[in-house]
Chains A and B, each alone.
Chain A
Amino acid sequence: MIVEFGHFALVLAVVVALFQTVVPLIGTLSRERRLMETARPAAILQLLLLLTAFLALMQAYVMSDFSVANVAANSHSTKPLIYRISGVWGNHEGSMLLWVLILASFGAAVAIFGNNLPLSLRANVLSVQASIALAFGIFMLATSNPFLRLENPPIDGRGLNPILQDPALAFHPPFLYAGYVGFSIAFSFAIAALIEGRIDAAWARWVRPWTLAAWMCLTLGIAMGSWWAYYELGWGGWWFWDPVENASFMPWLAGTALLHSALVMEKRETLKVWTILLAILTFSLSLMGTFLVRSGVLTSVHAFAVDPERGVAILAIMTIFVGGGLALFALRAGELRQGGLFAPISREGALVLNNVLLTTAAATVFVGTLYPLLLEGLTGDKISVGAPFFNMTFIPLMVPLLIALPFGPFMPWKRGDLIGVSQRLIATAVLALVAMVATMAMTERGPWLAPIMMAVGVYVMAGALQELAYRAKIGSAGREEVLRRLWNLPRSVYGTTLAHFGVGMMVVGIVATSAYQTEKVLVMKPGDSVDVAGFTLVFNGVAPNKGPNYSEQVAAFDVTRGGQPVITLHPSKRIYDSPPQPTSEAGIHASWRGDLYTVLGDAQEEDGGYAFRFYFNPLVRFIWLGALVMFIAGGVSLSDRRLRVGAPNRKSRSNAPAGAVAAE
């Protein structure tokens, strides 16, 4: 009964979306207030209906109602509760329902917190937002309905792919989707501005918090996915330049550029047309990401539940919105009033450089990701573009960006002084040199570029801190004055500092892990020992074990360092009961110095030995910690009072992302 209720709610939500697309738009075109005002209750109603549908599906999962086809195909009665819940979005149909639910959450958040928006702008934004929901709602009802019943329900379900039964992955899709879908608000605002043919600094002030919230979620979502792949897949890597990874990375790059260009627009009323274009492109890349992941047109190691036929439908939706958006942009962009020009050496100039480099980087990732499709279409040759391509194209674009990064926040608006800023960064440069020398002293091998890149990472981190120190006059003013200044600095300044510091941390982690990873593959018998990066591992044999829904073979290693016991590691091989699928669980000892990573391989046929793979990944946790710091930085910025200026009540900005997440 509840499932039918959810099904009905989904259908109603689509009907409401249709209403919300058409009526407010008619209202703005005919300047009829009452029609425009319908957008707000419609958006809230749409959210409530989709929430009902989502909870109904979740209920079917929690209660293991296998008469629902989707539950029978993806769940199992012995699965722990948390994975029965996360199983809701661990499949195509459920994840699309989550997608539209988050879409509706953002729309409703605009409706609820957008009191200060001009009525016509709000009506147009919600109308565009609803049109996206309408397209995906019809898509779901036509091809991917999660509420279909089975005539002959099975006794038990087929279960969730066991490697998805993991805490980090339970929350990876919701954050990723909140990021993807959150950019829809920027898109809707852009389209609404184009429809009205009017745009000003206030527009950027309204859009920026939503973009920031989406960007935060996407940052954390990508980092969670990377972390999960690192410890779950047993190949010791954290990024593969796989199409599915790139699909989430392109909107991130464009979204990061959008955050910075909206800043220029808000403060200086320039770069308007570019910001609008970027808003359209960022969401277009999000739609493309959804298409690439869902359709499986590209070979991916991370492909789950793909379906080429339904992919075509997503491609059609994408074409309509991207094509329509860009066409409207081409028609209307000329009518928007351009802002003034500015000196190249200035805050604006630095932010433009940031935008050019980030969007160019996104474009190289785009080419690398889609070139195989293009070439196959043209010549029929099947190729793959892997890490070497991206190392050759993406990294050279990131290096100048990272070097320019600490200069940006030091630059005043309008006109800056490059030499003056360089002088202020001397301490940072010295610290970077120390880091380079220290790296060279501590390592014996590795690429010659690695110490330089370590220095760049430290330089970005130190540069961020030095900017804060400069603003607070640390070192030049008395203690009380410094504290007073630190207290009075706007939170967005702390947000900037933290975010840039996080970028530096990430660079340090990436460079150290990529350049100085140790890898060993060998066969060991019980009692054998091996030395990996200063650790001594003694193999104590393999024993069977039984978990709640799997059985496993567990190896035991006593790890010592300099004679002192450190930990006992247990890499294992599991076979899940349903579906009967093998997985490897790496045994990891994580520390600030780096991760010791062990994987159990095949048993030897003759002598009772086992194959093992060992890694030592220096400073690897800085990669995900850097992302976490960036996420927190976004939160700190969102809590800034200045972002709330023009917001109706003080809670709106900080509640919006939390509300969107809590809704799942």
Chain B
Amino acid sequence: MTRKQKRGVLIGTAVAILASAAIMVAFALRDTIVFFQTPSDIAEGKVKSGERFRLGGLVADGSVERGQGTKVKFAVTDTLQTVPVSYEGILPDLFREGQGVVAEGRLDANGQFVADTVLAKHDENYMPPEVAAALKEKGVKLGEGAKHPGAKTN
């Protein structure tokens, strides 16, 4: 093999791998990303039916129904709109009324959000940035723990 051919094979392989990776990334980004929506977004009709998305907001006070078989029901609110959610399984330990939550799933025909995942978090004070931003956008005042997740206040 000449020097030119050697270089050609090396560069060709590298370019081929990079190009196929780029194509895969482009397709994957089109097909697999899920959007983050708030209850107000749903009320405004921003969510297509059957589309998979992430729902974020606060767990509405007094909405959690546990202990009825393996199904759990609760509602997610951004204080302007509220969406009922059903979930089969065991809720994360830090799931609590009045706290931020992110769930992933789809809307059913009755406007109920059927979640297959409720994101666990490890820190009580942690508020997912999307939830914090979405609530701020809606003009909701947050407690100090939520404004600066984990910030030491003393």
Q: Is B13 part of the contact surface with A, judged by Cβ < 8 Å? A: yes
Q: Is B3 part of the contact surface with A, judged by Cβ < 8 Å? A: yes
Q: Is A412 part of the contact surface with B, judged by Cβ < 8 Å? A: no
Contacts A382-B130, A383-B36, A384-B54; is A392 near B6 (CB within 8 Å)? Answer: no
Question: Which residues of the other chain, B, contact A602 by a CB distance below 8 angstroms?
Answer: 66-67, 72, 90-91
Contacts A301-B119, A382-B35, A393-B28; is A360 near B21 (CB within 8 Å)? Answer: yes
Question: Which residues of the other chain, A, contact B128 by a CB distance below 8 angstroms?
Answer: 299
Question: Which residues of the other chain, A, contact B28 by a CB distance below 8 angstroms?
Answer: 368, 388-389, 392-393
Q: Is B122 part of the contact surface with A, judged by Cβ < 8 Å? A: yes
Closest CB in chain A relative to B132 CB, distance in Å: 9
Interface residue ranges of B43-100 to A (CB < 8 Å): 54, 66-70, 72, 88-91, 93-94
**In terms of DSSP, what is the predominant structure of the interface of chain A?**
mixed
* B70 lies within 8 A of A523 (CB): yes
Which residue of chain B has the shortest Cβ distance to A164 in the bound complex? B122
Question: Which residues of the other chain, A, contact B68 by a CB distance below 8 angstroms?
Answer: 604-605
Q: Is A35 part of the contact surface with B, judged by Cβ < 8 Å? A: no
Q: Is A328 part of the contact surface with B, judged by Cβ < 8 Å? A: no
Contacts A382-B36, A385-B29, A603-B67; is A303 near B148 (CB within 8 Å)? Answer: no
Q: Give bound CA distance, A357 to B17, whole Å.
A: 7
Closest CB in chain B relative to A304 CB, distance in Å: 5
Question: Which residues of the other chain, B, contact A446 by a CB distance below 8 angstroms?
Answer: none
- Contact partner of B149 (CB less than 8 A), chosen from A296, A388, A604, is A296
Q: Is B109 part of the contact surface with A, judged by Cβ < 8 Å? A: no
Q: Is B120 part of the contact surface with A, judged by Cβ < 8 Å? A: yes
* B25 lies within 8 A of A161 (CB): no
Q: Give bound CA distance, A357 to B24, whole Å.
A: 14
- Contact partner of A386 (CB less than 8 A), chosen from B7, B34, B124, B151, is B34
Which residue of chain B has the shortest Cβ distance to A150 in the bound complex? B154
Closest CB in chain A relative to B131 CB, distance in Å: 8
* A604 lies within 8 A of B69 (CB): yes
* B130 lies within 8 A of A301 (CB): no
Provide the A291-311 mask, 1 if CB < 8 A to any CB of B, else 0: 000001111011111111100
* B90 lies within 8 A of A299 (CB): no
Q: Is A493 part of the contact surface with B, judged by Cβ < 8 Å? A: no
Q: Give bound CA distance, A367 to B148, whole Å.
A: 27
Question: Which residues of the other chain, A, contact B70 by a CB distance below 8 angstroms?
Answer: 521-523, 601, 611
**In terms of DSSP, what is the predominant structure of the interface of chain B?**
mixed
* B21 lies within 8 A of A344 (CB): no
Q: Is B150 part of the contact surface with A, judged by Cβ < 8 Å? A: yes
* B90 lies within 8 A of A381 (CB): no
Number of A residues whose C-beta is below 8 Å from B? 72
Query: Looking at the complex, which of A419-427, A478-486, A581-589, A656-664 is the stretch in contact with chain B?
Result: A581-589
Q: Is B32 part of the contact surface with A, judged by Cβ < 8 Å? A: yes
* B6 lies within 8 A of A344 (CB): yes
* A392 lies within 8 A of B27 (CB): yes
Which residue of chain B has the shortest Cβ distance to A360 in the bound complex? B21
* A364 lies within 8 A of B25 (CB): yes
- Contact partner of A352 (CB less than 8 A), chosen from B10, B67, B91, B120, is B10
Closest CB in chain B relative to A70 CB, distance in Å: 8
Question: Which residues of the other chain, A, contact B72 by a CB distance below 8 angstroms?
Answer: 602
Q: Is A541 part of the contact surface with B, judged by Cβ < 8 Å? A: no
Provide the B113-135 mask, 1 if CB < 8 A to any CB of A, else 0: 00000011111101011100110
Contacts A299-B129, A344-B9; is A385 near B33 (CB within 8 Å)? Answer: yes
Number of B residues whose C-beta is below 8 Å from A? 56
Q: Give bound CA distance, A343 to B10, whole Å.
A: 9
* A341 lies within 8 A of B6 (CB): yes
Contacts A296-B129, A605-B67; is A301 near B122 (CB within 8 Å)? Answer: yes
Question: Which residues of the other chain, B, contact A301 by a CB distance below 8 angstroms?
Answer: 119-122
Q: Is A171 part of the contact surface with B, judged by Cβ < 8 Å? A: no
* A305 lies within 8 A of B123 (CB): yes
Most buried by A among B35, B119, B121, B152: B152
Q: Give bound CA distance, A150 to B102, whole Å.
A: 36
* A303 lies within 8 A of B122 (CB): yes
Contacts A388-B32, A392-B27, A523-B70; is A304 near B123 (CB within 8 Å)? Answer: yes
Q: Give bound CA distance, A612 to B90, whole Å.
A: 8
Question: Which residues of the other chain, A, contact B20 by a CB distance below 8 angstroms?
Answer: 396
Q: Give bound CA distance, A602 to B54, whole Å.
A: 24
* A384 lies within 8 A of B33 (CB): yes
* B21 lies within 8 A of A364 (CB): yes
Closest CB in chain A relative to B63 CB, distance in Å: 15
Closest CB in chain A relative to B36 CB, distance in Å: 4
* A343 lies within 8 A of B34 (CB): no
Which residue of chain A has the shortest Cβ distance to B89 in the bound complex? A521
Question: Which residues of the other chain, A, contact B21 by a CB distance below 8 angstroms?
Answer: 360-361, 363-364, 393, 397
Question: Which residues of the other chain, B, contact A235 by a CB distance below 8 angstroms?
Answer: 120
Question: Which residues of the other chain, B, contact A371 by a CB distance below 8 angstroms?
Answer: 29, 33
Which residue of chain B has the shortest Cβ distance to A392 in the bound complex? B28
Question: Which residues of the other chain, A, contact B104 by a CB distance below 8 angstroms?
Answer: 384, 386
Question: Which residues of the other chain, B, contact A393 by a CB distance below 8 angstroms?
Answer: 21, 24-25, 28
Q: Give bound CA distance, A72 to B123, whole Å.
A: 17
* B90 lies within 8 A of A233 (CB): no
Which residue of chain B has the shortest Cβ distance to A581 in the bound complex? B124
Q: Is A212 part of the contact surface with B, judged by Cβ < 8 Å? A: no
* B34 lies within 8 A of A383 (CB): yes
Closest CB in chain A relative to B23 CB, distance in Å: 10
Q: Give bound CA distance, A73 to B6, whole Å.
A: 61
Q: Give bound CA distance, A611 to B87, whole Å.
A: 13
Q: Give bound CA distance, A163 to B31, whole Å.
A: 35
Question: Which residues of the other chain, A, contact B93 by a CB distance below 8 angstroms?
Answer: 234, 573, 581-584
Q: Is B18 part of the contact surface with A, judged by Cβ < 8 Å? A: yes
Q: Give bound CA distance, A389 to B14, whole Å.
A: 22
Q: Is A613 part of the contact surface with B, judged by Cβ < 8 Å? A: yes
Closest CB in chain B relative to A569 CB, distance in Å: 16
Q: Give bound CA distance, A201 to B1, whole Å.
A: 26
Closest CB in chain A relative to B126 CB, distance in Å: 5
Interface residue ranges of A251-309 to B (CB < 8 Å): 296-299, 301-309
Q: Is A199 part of the contact surface with B, judged by Cβ < 8 Å? A: no
Show 28 residue pairs from A and B whose CB-CB distance is below 8 angstroms, ordered by the A residue. Answer: A69-B154, A233-B120, A297-B129, A303-B150, A304-B122, A306-B150, A308-B129, A309-B148, A341-B10, A344-B1, A344-B6, A349-B10, A357-B17, A360-B17, A367-B25, A383-B35, A384-B104, A385-B33, A389-B28, A389-B29, A392-B24, A392-B32, A521-B90, A522-B70, A584-B90, A602-B72, A602-B91, A603-B67
> Which B residues are within 8 Å of any A CB, using their own CB?
1, 3, 6-7, 9-10, 13-14, 17-18, 20-21, 24-25, 27-29, 31-36, 54, 66-70, 72, 88-91, 93-94, 102, 104, 119-124, 126, 128-130, 133-134, 148-152, 154
Smallest CB-CB A-B distances: 5 pairs: A382-B36, A601-B90, A388-B32, A605-B67, A392-B28
Q: A161-B122, A386-B32, A583-B93 are in contact. List 6 more A-B contacts (CB 8 A).
A: A233-B120, A367-B29, A388-B32, A389-B28, A602-B66, A611-B67
